[in-house]
Structure 1
Amino acid sequence: MKKNAIFLLILLVSIFALATTLSTRINVESNNKVVEIVLSYTEFQDMANQSEETLSWWFKKFSGLGIEYVDLQEENLESLLMQNKQLEVLMGWELLQQGNWKETYSSEVATYVDGGQINEFDVFVTTRTQEVFDFIAKGLTERYDTEHFEILSHQAPFAIVMKGTIEDALYQQNLYLIDADRKASLQRHKPYSSKLMQVGLGFDVEKINTIKESGLKVLPRPYTYKAWMSETYLETVFEEFETYAMKPSVFIFSGGEVLGYPVADDLVTRYMIANDIKAGLIETSVQRSHLDQDGIDLMVRSLDYNAVRIFSVWPYIQERFKYYNYEGAEEIENTLYRAVTERNIRLIYFKPIKHDKYNIRYDQFIYLTDYSEYEKMFERFETRIGQHGMTLGRSSTMDSIRVRIAKQTLMGWGIVAASILLLGYLLKLNKKMKYGLLAIGLLLVPAAFVVRPMLADKVMALWAAMAFPSLAMVYFCNRCFHYVYKEEKTNKLHQQILYAVRDLIIVSAISFLGGLFVAAILSHIEYLLEMDIFRGVKIGQVVPIIAYVAIYASYFGYKRKNKKDQEPFLRYKDIKNFLFEDIKIIYVVSVVLFLGVGYIYLARTGHETGVQASTMELIFRNILEENLLARPRNKEFLIGFPALMVGIYFAKNKIKLLAFLSGLVAVIGQTSIVNTFSHLRTPVYLSVARTFYALVIGIVIGTIYILLFEIGIKFLKYVKERKIFQ
């Protein structure tokens, strides 16, 4: 303590900066407690068509479940065709290939085509219905410059050309021809469709009235192709918002860019600020970050982060009815619950549930039309989020929190101090070297935060994620060394268990501190909204394992003599003895097994992993989730924490090899603590609760493991003494 007083003092000051930073973050998170649910008009229309009730009936029913909005997208040629409107849409090349187009269409069309004004990328629209023509013509005329389209005929058969280019064309992929010998032959394709099919034409008044008459509000979703974007389009759309009283609370942007991009997104931003409209960040289907829409991050920053994370009920989630042996929609409910409690989701874009494929070949599903199932699901969901102080309503947002450079610097200094303490147990550092490294660290940390703040905070967080679990394992090795060489063996099992519990708590507290450093340094609002993410999670889990092996060797050495009296640090002779060791088959087998387990461990980490948990494990997780405020991590309370207790038990019984192997497993639990806090979108209180539950349950399971080992050891001694199997 005296030798490291300066380092401990710096660490204490750093912890104070950490506490004040986390206090601010916790306060911001605690004020973000309102969850909004928006229904998908299109999919509810499809569901209503499969049911015996009207769409209006369904909307009225859902209006009583705490739901306020239904989304409504602008109509376009694609949606009009899907609604079986009486119109025909052809690509330019399809029109030119028709042999009888001169007889089929008006003379204006013939003149236009004969004049060579149409090209293969144009979109030709024709209808004999006045209502359909008026809607399309009005939408185009009010929204877009005339250079983009031309109305050829104002009388039946009505005709319009939307002028396209090769950039607008859409092609079918993976189509090829084969001959009798099954040899592929390249085929040149004509455009299959065009992006102009999705150009916004206006909102359907009948749909607006259907939503409003049911007691719900319209959440309009304007969308147009960015090549056609203009201020005229935006002004028309905003006027329609006023005319039909349907200002959105959140903009859920459609397509690959935000509304107004790239020519008038500043106009949209000003409109959103004036009307307190939030920007929607749609979470990806792998539940990591948000969809990459051009201009979205810049817009959110311009709004001072007045944004909300959106969870869309993706098709694979819609199909989870009677999933994992549930009787109804419980697993879909679990998915929604995790989204809002664990990932800062505050708007759920809800689509009706699907079940029972009716066309397996085309993977088509029947919608669930039993309203009572939806009612039960949403009532359970509201009750469960209520345990976290959350309610349903208009989505809340988080204040724009930023961490000052001064606090980041103080926390960085604490990480530097902890790292030098760790290094002191691996290398024999004299006083001059220690303070020299400290001085360099104290200078470099603030410089890094000034020059590259958004990189420096990630580096410091990763540093903390590696340093503190490693430092925690220093304490574990220190205790094991003490129990093996400095302390008499005790035969009292309850004392061994108490020592194991105490040491587990202390070791976990050190790792827990590392997790808090990560959570505090990366408290910027962009991390909470997952506009930016903490990278290096796998590195943060591998390095402490390697460090543990080195730390253990610094205490116990490798075939070292006179171990009792030597102070801990890694010696050249230990490394030499290890490198020149005779390789035995058992060593190779052990390494292969270790690498296999290590691969599974790392592959299970993250969101895009190809190694998934088993069905039984997922059911077990759901049971924990339904009965606790936060689900503890299996690898902590089932593996890592009990392994550390067992390691202490083996050290108490002077069994060094098993103590070392137990420590190798125990590192998993310690890195997992930090990893819990590395999920920055998860509120801090939930990460704390998750770690606490894991520690309590881990102590119980660790005690059981020790009792089982004790019984096993006594049984082996009994067999050996009586020579039963000889």
Structure 2
Amino acid sequence: MKDFKYNRGLVLIIMVGLIASLMISFARHGVEENNRQIDLATNYEDLLELADREGLPAEEVMAKAKEAGITSLAVYDTTFKKLNANGKATAIAGSELLGSYHSGTLTDPLWRQLVAEGKIQGNEVYIVGHDARTWQELKEDVPRRLGKDRVHLLKVGDEEVMAAKAHFESFVKMDIGMPTDEMEAVNKAGFHVIARPSNFNKCTEDDVKAVFKRLDGMDISEVVFSGSQVLGANKSLQTTIDEMKARNLNMGLIEGVTQLQFYKQDGMEEIAKGIGYDKIVRLYAIPKDEQPKLKISTAVERWANTDEERNIRIDLLRIYDKPSPNMSLMETNMQYFKDTHDILVAHGYTVGPAGTFASFYPSKYLRALVMAGVAAAAVLYLSLVIPALNTAVKKQWLLFVIFALCAMVPILMGTGAKIRVLAALASANLFPALAVIFQLDRIRHLRDKITLGFGKMLITGIIALLVTGTLSYIGAAYLSASLADTEYLLEFQIFRGIKLTFVLPLILVGIAFLQRFDIFDGRMDDTDGVLNQLKKIMDMPVKVKTLFVLFLVLVAGVVFVARSGHTSGMPVSAAELKFRAFLEQALYARPRTKELMIGHPAFLMAVMAFWRKWPTMIFFGLVLIATIGQGSMVETFAHMRTPVFMSFMRGIGGIVLGAGIGAIAMMLVQLWQTVISRAKERKSA
């Protein structure tokens, strides 16, 4: 029997690195716990629409929304579509004026005189103001949007009229500028304003300053830029940075449609870096086409999970456009607002201007110790799969020095971003593999020394699962500590090796298994080594049914990888979605299906396979499947936007439920074997 020895010095270095990792993770947890305030928001326009549809005063609807828990209202640039509707200004196509003149329906003598003098052009738009403040803002904003050379003023009697060379249909939809009357109305109703300005074509420094000057005196909770560019892109971004810093404003970034990183806006990275990542907030809104399909209770639960799992701190709620049964449209939406507010408070959140993450960049010295621990783990693994290296302790230390220097020096120099990613990738793959290998070595030594009945075997399997999970969690601590900083918590940076972590641990464990066990002749404690066994596999004659089984395994592997990672490449069935929803409501954090339904039950079945001396090939397959659960526990921590405590509890829930399912599976197999055995006895008798 090949006996692999564990280098205690390397294990000690791993423990030192673990202490450093835990220090970083506890500090991260503190940063996350201090960011527990959510801005519960809706659109100002939506409330006005709701008031119109219900025939209620806007003030009454806003008061009800305030009472239901809404804290901020989003105000967008005004458009002439809105101004034409609210009567504060009117935009008229020149072609329409000319048509009215020639048809005789233009009765105003002053307008008729302008037409007669040739001052009305069919390719121009004519703007008339009906509100003094709005008119003054239009005289500032329209020339900025179109260019001063395309705008001029006319006199119609004592009134000013603005003429703009523009395509009418496009013009009425065009963003004009932030309306101070709407922002004041929002503040007067007791809400904060989420300012949603859009960028200008060929934006200048003066354009940027004009927008922020418009915001002065308003109670602004956050600025969330509208459109595909932030204000100031691409040549005036520094002005935007300076104006936001001068006013101490936070910027909200909209989560991407795949719930990963952000909706792409030109210049957003530069603004975020310029004002500081501690001034950035993640915003989420349920998609327009999805919300009508959701019951209020489902949408409310979505908000609770979203804020907890993805660090969303601006919840932008859209109104429902159809009432719930036995409720008015007003009652439906106020219930939606209130239920969302109440569930967030029940989860320990406060509501108000969105909280932000404090600037979090752990000590480079702690991070260097983490790198040393990862280097030690890499050498330890190599020593456990290469017999010649296992006995050459000096070579192990030489390798460690090389690996450690390559990993630690860039970190100590203040760089090392790529090294950190490599360390996280190594942690996610090495530690689950080492945890499983440790159990393989342990049971090889115990098998001939003790015998286990079913009860003891079950208890031993559960204890072994807990121990293996604990060892895998060392890798989780290392992974978290390798990446943790504000940029990763906000998802400006993401770990891109997730799908690899579902495959590589299986390969690492497979190599170690083949160095310890012979999968062909049943000699559990002897082996010809990895290469010889792989050669045997390649030389095996293949039957059609074997090819079919291999094809099914391949399909299962593709499904397994495609459904994993930041983005899923395959849809999830309705039944599984319901099961997930049940777990989300029943537990603090929903365990991963691959852990509780696949990996951990397979671990207990592998224990049974070993002690009951099932064919080694079956034992091998179960060990690989069990490794899936261990790898998934660690990979969970690669989703850095999810609070570290939630990731920890997710893994605990998976182990507990997975152990229960595995125990039931063992009992069923035991029962089946007992029934078969008794049937054979009766037959032989």
- TM-score, structure 1 length as denominator? 0.83
Specify the SS of the correspondent of 1:290: coil
How far the C-alpha of 1:28 sits from its partner, in A, is 0.7
Quote how far apart the aligned CAs of 1:532 are. 0.9
Deviation at 1:286, TM superposition (A): 1.6
Aligned to 2:573: 614
Cα offset, 1:407, TM superposition? 2.4
| 1:415-445 Cα distance to aligned partner (Å, 9 max, x none) | 1211222222322233143223212101211
Residue 214 of structure 2 aligns with which residue?
A: 240
| Alpha-carbon offset, residue 498 of structure 1 | 0.9
Asked if 2 retains the 8 angstrom alpha-carbon contact of 1:34 and 1:396, the reply is: yes
Match of 2:382 in 1: 423
Structure 1's 69 and 150: CA in aligned 2 closer, same or farther, altered over 3 A?
Answer: same
Q: Is the 8 A contact 2:199 2:233 kept in 1?
A: no
Find the counterpart in structure 2 of residue 520 from structure 1: 481
Q: Secondary structure at the match of 1:153?
A: strand
- Higher fraction of helix: 2
Stretches of structure 1 that go unaligned for 5 or more consecutive residues are 164-190, 323-328, 357-364
3-state DSSP class of the match of 1:281? Answer: strand
Matched to 2:192, the amino acid is K
Match in the other structure for 1:337: 304
Is the Cα–Cα contact under 8 Å of residues 642 and 703 in structure 1 kept in the other structure?
A: yes
In 2, distance between residues paired with 1:543 and 1:285?
29
Deviation digits for residues 386-409 of structure 1 (CA, Å, limit 9, x no counterpart): 454321122111111113332222
Change (3 A) 1:75 1:634: same
| Residue 625 of structure 2 is aligned to residue 639 of structure 1 | no
Q: Tell me how far apart the structure 1 counterparts of residues 129 and 366 of structure 2 sit (CA, whole Å).
A: 68
Matches within 5 A, 1:245-284: 245-284=217-256
What is the SS of the residue equivalent to 2:500? helix
Paired residue type of 1:420: V
Instruction: Indicate the residue corresponding to 2:360 in structure 1.
Output: 401
The 1:102/1:386 distance shift into structure 2, 3 A limit, reads closer
Letter matched to residue 445 of structure 1: A
1:41-190 correspondence runs (5 A): 41-77=44-80, 79-80=82-83, 86-88=90-92, 106=114, 110=118, 124-127=124-127, 134=135, 137-140=138-141, 143=144, 147-151=148-152, 153-155=154-156, 158=161, 160-162=163-165
Q: Give 1:139's aligned amino acid.
A: E
Looking at structure 1, the residues matched to 431 and 448 of structure 2 have their Cα atoms a distance apart, in angstroms, of 26
Whether the 8 Å CA contact 2:465–2:604 is kept in 1: the answer is yes
Q: In 1, Cα distance between the equivalents of 2:228 and 2:103?
A: 38
Per-residue CA deviations over 1:662-682 (Å, capped at 9, x if unaligned) read 222212211210121111011
Provide the C-alpha distance between the structure 2 equivalents of 1:701 and 1:240, rounded to a whole number of angstroms. 61
**Equivalents in 1 of 2:623, 2:169: separation in Å?**
61
* Aligned residue identity for 1:460: A
The yes-or-no answer on 1:200 pairing with 2:176 is yes
User: For 1:486-513, what per-residue CA distance to the aligned partner results, in whole angstroms no more than 9, with x for missing partners?
Assistant: 34543x2110011101111111112211
Report whether the alignment pairs 1:555 with 2:516: yes
Corresponding position of 2:674: 714
Q: Kindly tell me: are residues 415 and 153 of structure 1, through their superposed partners in 2, closer, same or farther at Cα, counting changes over 3 Å?
A: same
Over 3 Å counting, the alpha-carbon distance change for 1:7 and 1:350 in structure 2 is same
1:2 to partner: Cα distance: 7.3
C-alpha distance 377-647 of structure 1, shift in aligned 2 (>3 A): farther
Shift in CA distance, 73/585, structure 1 to aligned 2, threshold 3 Å: same
Amino acid at match of 2:660: V
Quote the offset at 1:372 in angstroms: 4.1
How many pairs align? Answer: 665
Change (3 A) 1:652 1:437: same
Cα shift readout 1:330-352 (whole Å, capped 9, x = no counterpart): 11111111121111111111111
Go from structure 1 to structure 2 and tell me whether the alpha carbon gap of 1:582 and 1:99 turns closer, same or farther (over 3 Å shift): farther
How far off is 1:627 after superposition? 2.7
1:38-63 deviations in Å (ceiling 9; x for gaps): 21122333333332433322211110
Residue from 611, 624, 630 that aligns with 1:664: 624
Percent of matched pairs sharing the same residue: 24
Counterpart Cα distance in 2 of 1:606 and 1:100: 65
CA contact 1:200–1:222 (8 Å) conserved in 2: no
* Mapped contact 1:426–1:570 kept (Cα < 8 A): no
Matched residue type, 2:310 = R
Contact 1:226 1:261 in 2 (8 A): no
Which amino acid is the alignment partner of residue 316 of structure 1? D
Is 1:558–1:575's contact at 8 Å kept on the other side of the alignment? no
Alignment of 1:420-499 (within 5 A): 420-430=379-389, 431=392, 432-449=394-411, 450=413, 453-479=416-442, 481-482=444-445, 486-490=448-452, 492-499=453-460
3-state SS in 2 of match to 1:56: helix
Equivalent-residue separation in structure 2 for 1:372 and 1:249 (angstroms): 27
Cα deviation, residue 474, structure 1: 1.1
Change (3 A) 1:451 1:27: closer
What CA deviation, in whole Å up to 9, does each residue of 1:570-606 have, x standing for no partner?
Answer: 3432222111111122321221111111112112113
What is the SS of the residue equivalent to 2:62?
helix
Q: Return the letter of the residue paired with 2:636.
A: T
Asked if the contact 1:481/1:556 (under 8 Å) is kept, the reply is: no
Kindly tell me: are residues 261 and 640 of structure 1, through their superposed partners in 2, closer, same or farther at Cα, counting changes over 3 Å? same
Q: CA deviation at 1:640?
A: 1.3
Alignment partner of 2:313: what SS?
Answer: strand
Contact 2:601 2:663 in 1 (8 A): yes
Is there any run of 5+ residues in structure 2 with no aligned partner, and where? none
Relative to the length of structure 2, the TM-score reads 0.88
Distance 1:555 1:109 in 2: 99
Q: 1:546 aligns with which of 498, 507, 516?
A: 507
Give 1:658 shift: 3.0
2: distance between equivalents of 1:37 and 1:438?
Answer: 51
What amino acid does structure 2 have at the position aligned with 1:589? F
Change (3 A) 1:383 1:87: closer
Partner of 1:214: 189
Task: Determine helix, strand or coil for the equivalent of 2:163.
Answer: strand
Q: Is the 8 A contact 2:197 2:231 kept in 1?
A: yes
Structure 1 292/683 Cα, relative in aligned 2: closer, same or farther at 3 Å? same
Aligned to 1:530: 491
Matched residue SS, 2:357: coil
Letter in 2 for 1:150: V
**Other structure's SS at 2:78 match:** coil
Deviations 1:245-304 (A, max 9, x none): 324121111112222333433233233223321011111122110111122122222222
- Residues 314 and 721 (structure 1 numbering): CA distance in 2 closer, same or farther, change over 3 Å? same
